[in-house]
Amino acid sequence: MTGSSRPGHPRLRRTAGDRRAQLVQIGLELLPTTPVQELTIDEVARRAGISRSLLFHYFSTKREYYTAVTRAAADLLLEHLLPAPGTPAEQQVPGMLDRYVGWVETFPESHLAFVRGAGGGDPWVSEVYEETRGRLVEVALTTLDLPDDTLRRQLVLAWFAFTEDLVGSWVQEPTMTREELLALLRDVLDRLTTDDGRGR
Amino acid sequence: MTGSSRPGHPRLRRTAGDRRAQLVQIGLELLPTTPVQELTIDEVARRAGISRSLLFHYFSTKREYYTAVTRAAADLLLEHLLPAPGTPAEQQVPGMLDRYVGWVETFPESHLAFVRGAGGGDPWVSEVYEETRGRLVEVALTTLDLPDDTLRRQLVLAWFAFTEDLVGSWVQEPTMTREELLALLRDVLDRLTTDDGRGR
DNA sequence: GTAGCTTGTTGAGCGTTGCTCAGCAAGCCG
DNA sequence: CGGCTTGCTGAGCAACGCTCAACAAGCTAC
């Protein structure tokens, strides 16, 4: 029944790489509307016009599949955020922040799905999420010319959580101008990192 | 097979209230080790010594069940955090912060499960989580004698995200003293709320 | 061209899990 | 004892993740 998607076409045979890419792509398209872990093999296979079995040929487990989808989403985000090579150091963090807000403005549900899905309990997915956050912290600390010690990592990671939450709710209900938001976020980060983590 | 849990006992018949409470209790005990949504009816019923069907007699849907469990967990947390009546206003927020850190120190996995499980995609669970955060913000704003406008709510909620993240990682790897942590958190909150949300 | 190999692809089917439903039986009342 | 309420069960269905044996598309070799 799932077999030949169109009666006219005898059967379409793709290369392994193409098929994998197609399946991940379908996952990405479904991501905004469905929590990653709730993607059903049936649905994905149906959209791809293939049988369930074939999906298991490429991803030996459902978890392996949606982890791949999550990683693809994370890579898209990173690619969008990371500063273009040659950007002056002092512009890198502001630029990333600005692009981050833009990203959330453009794909609010998609972003929510990624951030939320991260916590969804599955260690594999969380790992991808943590890895992404880790790489962003690294870039931030490097370009801010700050030592990469445990304390500062913790503070910047917590600031990420702050940023994700605030930007998320700000997009839903803009309580200040975009510039004020960016200034506030940068200000909090500055104070956290230059204070050596201690108040007063 | 699941029926009479002990061969000796003919069959145990409980009142509706007792049974519900028992089932929710079992869910709470499983919560630290299992993401809420991954609780299986089979497992819970087995632990309660009843058939799967009975669980559906009390909770018409699995989601209804684990939402009840989540709500119970949230209530436990709130009960622990909310200040005792008669506490002087200026002590309420510090007290809650202190008890929050204590809670995370005592039940690290349990806390992680709650915070993480919150985002897990399910709107019902997220709602319980948001509701809990909302009530905490309300208490905070009231006792800090601050106006309860949208901007301030957003800032305090984002500060919660900051706090959850930082306390969570601090428990795993204490990069400062407990007092420094508390002071830092209070300081960030103070600056956010007294600055009217704008830096400088 | 056809034989043969590789490999993309399928269908039938199994175990688990969420959920339904008809009916049993425990305990109380008359 | 008869009858009522209601806690409770077992069989069974549909959906889903996953397996496995086998088919067939497209390439190369002769």
A5-59 confidence digits (pLDDT tens): 334 345 678 888 899 999 999 999 999 888 898 999 999 999 999 999 999 999 9
The one-character DSSP state at B33 is: T
pLDDT for res A113: 76
Q: Which residue has the tokens 């509307």?
A: A33
Compute the mean pLDDT over every residue in chain A, rounded to the nearest whole number: 89
Answer for the pair B153, B165: CB distance below 8 angstroms, yes or no.
Answer: no
Residues 35-64 of A with CB under 7 A from strand C: 49-54, 57
- Give A53-70 pLDDT, tens digit per residue: 999 999 999 999 999 999
Answer for the pair B199, A184: CB distance below 8 angstroms, yes or no.
Answer: yes
pLDDT for res B184: 98
B97 touches chain A (CB under 8 A): no
Cβ–Cβ below 8 Å for A154 and B166:
yes
Alpha-carbon span B24 to B46, nearest angstrom: 14
- Give A138-193 pLDDT, tens digit per residue: 999 999 999 999 999 999 999 999 999 999 999 999 999 999 999 999 999 999 99
CATH 1.10.10 occupies which residues in chain B? 16-64
pLDDT for res B78: 94
The better pLDDT of the pair A123, A46 is held by A46
Distance C7 C1' – A37 CA (angstroms): 30
Smallest CA–C1' separation from A59: which nucleotide?
D18
Residues 68-97 of B with CB under 7 A from strand D: none
Question: Across residues A113-138, what is the average pLDDT?
Answer: 85
C-alpha atoms less than 13 angstroms from C-alpha of B92 in its C-beta half-sphere: 19
pLDDT for res A68: 97
Q: Which residues contact B132 (CB under 8 A, 6 or more apart)?
A: B74, B77, B78
Answer for the pair B113, B32: CB distance below 8 angstroms, yes or no.
Answer: yes
B63 touches chain A (CB under 8 A): no
Q: Which nucleotides of C are covered by protein (CB under 7 A)?
A: 7-13, 16-22, 25-27
**B184 membership: H or E segment, kind and range:** helix B178-194
pLDDT for res B162: 97
The one-character DSSP state at B180 is: H
- Give B179-199 pLDDT, tens digit per residue: 999 999 999 999 999 865 454
Query: Which tokens belong to B51?
Result: 């058939």
Percent of chain B with pLDDT over 70: 89
Burial (0-12, 13-18, 19+ Cβ within 10 Å), A46: middle
Residues 95-124 of B with CB under 7 A from strand D: none
Whether B13 CB is under 7 Å from strand C: yes
Answer for the pair A173, B150: CB distance below 8 angstroms, yes or no.
Answer: yes
Question: Across residues A64-87, what is the average pLDDT?
Answer: 94
CATH 1.10.357 occupies which residues in chain B? 70-194
Given CATH 4.10.780, say whether it is the number of domain B16-64: no
The CATH architecture of the domain made up of B70-194 is Orthogonal Bundle (1.10)
Question: Across residues B9-36, what is the average pLDDT?
Answer: 87
Whether A9 CB is under 7 Å from strand D: no
Q: What are phi and psi of A171, to 5 degrees?
A: -65, -40
pLDDT of B142 higher than 60:
yes
pLDDT for res A199: 43
Alpha-carbon span A82 to A79, nearest angstrom: 6
- At B113, the pLDDT band (50, 70, 90 cuts) reads confident
| Alpha-carbon torsion, ordered B73, B74, B78, B80, to 10 deg | 20
Question: Across residues B85-90, what is the average pLDDT?
Answer: 90
Distances (CA, A) of B119 to B36, B112, B116, B122, B126: 11, 11, 6, 7, 6
